[in-house]
Structure 1
Amino acid sequence: MTQDPSSSVPDPAAELRRIRWRCRRGMRELDQLFERWLAQAYPTASEPEHRVFLRLLDCEDDRLWRWFMGYEACPDAELSALIDRIRALPA
């Protein structure tokens, strides 16, 4: 039995819904920052930038809060650069 090649191709709309759900952190400030990036930068971001964003979403909320608010420096250069870009987006 052969597998339908279209079944292995992810649905971009479904993937974006999954990512949007992962952006819901329960902290309004983080939710707004992530949603802003999804709306303004995600559509034109490269695949490597998408992967860095997904890594950022894997981080714990308290750590994200400290990084985004500038209370602590993020030790990962890629994540730190993305945090700076997200913070610089217009509201």
Structure 2
Amino acid sequence: MTPVEHHAEAVAVSKRLRWRCRRGTKELDLLLERFLDDQFLHLDAQDQAAFERLLGLEDHFLQDWLIAGQSPTDGELHRVVELIRTTEFPPAR
């Protein structure tokens, strides 16, 4: 795959995931979209897949884990939740 093809694929994945980051609350939207923008491309393939799987879950799980501080029992999801929780984001633009 050429660098141009790789970039085009990354942009397509990012657009698809951005849509999936839109949730029921502004807090989740901001948290997930900022993580996608700032960290997703730096994750390894396993963590990227876990993030995508996380986006497939219902909002109440995400609120419990990302906002209320609870933890998933699934190890891969737990790792991604911890990455999201501990990521320091630059100030909102």
Alpha-carbon distance, 1:71 to partner: 5.0
Give TM-score scaled by structure 2 length: 0.78
Paired position in structure 2 for 1:76: 74
Runs of 4+ in 1 over 4 A off after TM superposition: none
Tell me the matched-pair count. 83
Please list every run of 5 or more consecutive structure 2 residues that lacks an aligned counterpart in the other structure: 1-5
Q: Deviations over 1:3-28 (max 9, x none)?
A: xxxxxx98321221011000000311
User: Map of 1:57-72 to 2, 5 A cutoff?
Assistant: 57-70=55-68, 72=70
- Which has more radius of gyration? 1
Please list every run of 5 or more consecutive structure 1 residues that lacks an aligned counterpart in the other structure: 1-8
Contact 1:67–1:74 (Cα < 8 Å) also in 2? yes
Give TM-score scaled by structure 1 length: 0.79
Paired position in structure 1 for 2:45: 47
Cα distance in 2, alignment partners of residues 69 and 12 from structure 1: 28
CA-based RMSD: 1.8
Paired position in structure 1 for 2:3: none
State, as a whole percentage, how many aligned pairs show the same letter: 35
